[in-house]
Amino acid sequence: MHDRAAPGLAKVAREPAGEATCEPNRYGFRPGRVGHDAIEAIQASLNPADTYVLDADIAQGFERSDHQA
């Protein structure tokens, strides 16, 4: 029972502080926020004169980098 209660208690204790210091435009892994909220925020911030949005996956760049350096 202790193994189940301890993580829940830690979450309840940390969550208010995290929400108070978190930037309002962060959407990942926050209570009450979903991916659709992020999409709506992006659409609201786009200027009609903008013609493109850049979406980049840089994970492979880290795989190819020299980890010894």
| Distance of alpha carbon 42 from alpha carbon 50, whole angstroms | 12
| pTM of the entire predicted model | 0.45
pLDDT for the residue 4: 85
Q: How many C-beta neighbours within 10 Å does residue 18 have?
A: 13
Residue 19 has pLDDT above 80, yes or no: no
Instruction: Convert 26-57 to b/e letters by CB count within 10 Å (16 or more is b).
Output: ebeeeeeeeeeeeeeeeeeeeeeeeeeeeeee
pLDDT, tens only, 34-60: 888 888 888 888 877 877 778 888 877
